[in-house]
Amino acid sequence: MRFTRQRWRGASAHVMSHDVHSKGITATRRSGPAWARKAAMRTLAAALAIASGSGCAADQFRFHRMKADKHGIEIRDLDAMIADANPAGIAVEQVVYDFAAEKDEYRLGKNDVLDIFVLNHPELSSHRAELGASAGTTIRKDGHIHLPIVGPIQAEGLTLTEFETSMREAVARFIVDPQISVEILRYESQKFHVLGQVRQPGSFSVDGDTTLLEALTLAGGASELANLETATVVRKGQLLPINLADLLRRGDTSRNVFMRGGDVVFIPDTSDQKVFVLGEVQQPKVVGIQRSGLTLAEALASAGGPTPARARRELAVIRGGFAKPVVYRVELERALLVDDQIRLQPGDRVVVAPHGLSTASRYMQQILPFLLGAQALGLAAQGGAGVAARVTAAGADGTP
- Integer Cα distance of 250 and 243 in angstroms: 10
CATH number of the CATH domain containing 73: 3.10.560.10
Residue 122 in any domain: the answer is yes
48-79 in b/e form (b: 16+ CB < 10 A) is: eeebeeebeebeebebeeeeeeeeebebbebe
Residue where one domain finishes, among candidates 216, 243, 267: 267
pLDDT of residue 84: 65
Pair 262, 277 in one domain: no
Length of the chain: 400
Residue where one domain finishes, among candidates 169, 186, 203: 186
- Integer Cα distance of 282 and 338 in angstroms: 23
For residue 53, what are the contacts with CB-CB under 8 A and spacing of at least 6?
Answer: none
Please report which helix (H) or strand (E) contains residue 233, including its range: strand 232-235
Pair 282, 345 in one domain: yes
Residue 396 in any domain: the answer is no
Residue 250 in any domain: the answer is yes
pLDDT of residue 131: 62
CATH number of the CATH domain containing 174: 3.30.1950.10
pLDDT of residue 395: 56
Please report which helix (H) or strand (E) contains residue 279, including its range: strand 274-279
- Integer Cα distance of 160 and 155 in angstroms: 9
**Domain total of the chain:** 3
Which residue range is the domain that position 166 belongs to?
A: 113-186
**What's the average pLDDT block by block, 10 residues per block, for the chain (400 residues)?**
42 40 41 53 49 44 52 67 54 59 89 93 82 81 93 95 95 93 94 96 94 96 86 90 87 90 91 83 86 83 82 76 75 81 85 63 48 54 60 56
Residue 12 in any domain: the answer is no
